[in-house]
């Protein structure tokens, strides 16, 4: 798969997953698709940068997942994105606030880390 294909696969899965996809098995399948796309992106030239570019995606779900992973890796731009999401409402905002709190406490682990 190309870098563009992997980015698109991640986006589609993140958007479809939303806050939670039903049934739970579908939710887990979509999370695994995101994880696989992320790990494959890290293995190809330009993949890490392509993943980082998703911090500016129109979908708050995409930005939240990417932000959580990148914040766990120390990316300062991810913190700003999550802080902005935390100001909104709903589960995306709650998740962003939890990520920021865990990061501040030194306990944040990336959702797609091997």
Residue percentage of the chain with pLDDT more than 90: 93
114 has pLDDT over 80: no
103 has pLDDT over 90: yes
Q: What is the pLDDT of residue 113?
A: 81
Q: Tell which CATH architecture fits domain 3-104.
A: Alpha Horseshoe (1.25)
24 has pLDDT over 90: yes
pTM: 0.95
For residue 4, give both structure tokens: 């563009």
Angle between helices 60-72 and 3-17 (to 10 degrees): 110
Backbone angles phi, psi at 3, to 5 degrees: -60, -45
Question: Residue 39 class from Cβ within 10 Å (0-12 exposed, 13-18 middle, 19+ buried)?
Answer: middle
Backbone angles phi, psi at 46, to 5 degrees: 80, -5
Domain boundaries along the sequence of the chain: 3-104
């Amino acid at each position: 798969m190309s870098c563009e294909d992997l980015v698109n696969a991640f986006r589609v899965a993140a958007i479809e997953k939303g806050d939670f996809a039903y049934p739970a098995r579908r939710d887990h399948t979509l999370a695994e698709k995101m994880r696989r796309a992320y790990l494959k992106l890290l293995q190809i030239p330009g993949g890490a940068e392509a993943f980082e570019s998703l911090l500016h995606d129109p979908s708050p779900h995409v930005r939240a997942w990417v932000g959580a992973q990148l914040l766990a890796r120390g990316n300062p731009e991810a913190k700003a994105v999550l802080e902005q999401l935390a100001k909104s409402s709903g589960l995306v905002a709650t998740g962003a606030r939890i990520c920021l709190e865990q990061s501040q406490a030194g306990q944040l682990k990336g959702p797609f880390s091997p």
